[in-house]
Structure 1
């Protein structure tokens, strides 16, 4: 078995950081569905601007809102406006074609890829 990338939201913009919330990352429902990331699923977050990396779980945000809000203690690792990469993985003994969601500055999907490398 190998741990393979299954879903990714690439260079999303953090719309809020709330250290008072219990924990997690709130993500627009449209982006979760397009990337095949489930509510409550463990994700790895990489902040493109400051290099911070952390794991948390997902909470569904309002559909079409573009919300990307880091909550709880992890909110201290990021700031509003940072670009992040959100990744979900799966254990498999066969190759997986990951769903890669590329977003614009408003966290709207501009492209959906089914592989890591662009055709």
Structure 2
């Protein structure tokens, strides 16, 4: 049997752009993608803390170090620049794999930059 488990999460990033006239997806700073173990074209769920909207889309690489979080296409209607969102990716695995799996959770700062402790 397979279960769906949290794989990766970017917790509380700020939307920096919303581009309605685009094919679709979410553009994410490549530094944030690497930190959260997200792949280009990977399916993600977006949760908007400001308005409660939820949607599913896929990841596009954004400029490394830019802090960009841009909702594209129809998703641009679900958030405004400045909204705080959570970006979540899941993985399917066996129950045995899931019991020992540790997800990657990243808490960027208010400017969508990685914080080194």
Which TM-score band applies after superposition, normalised by the shorter structure?
over 0.9
- Give unpaired runs (5+ residues) of structure 1: 113-119
Q: Which runs of 5+ in 2 are unaligned?
A: none
Q: Rg bigger for which structure?
A: 2
TM-score, normalised with respect to structure 2: 0.93
Correspondent of 2:115 among 106, 110, 115: 110
SS across alignment from 2:107? strand
| Structural RMSD (CA) | 1.2
Greater percentage in helix: 2
- Kindly tell me the number of residue pairs found equivalent between the two proteins: 112
Residue 26 of structure 2 aligns to a residue whose secondary structure is: strand
Matches within 5 A, 1:1-119: 1-93=2-94, 94-95=97-98, 96-110=101-115
Contact map agreement 1:42 1:58 (CA 8 A) in 2: yes
Give 4+ residue runs of structure 1 displaced > 3 Å after superposition.
none
Question: In 1, distance between residues paired with 2:103 and 2:71?
Answer: 23
TM-score, length of structure 1 as denominator length: 0.91
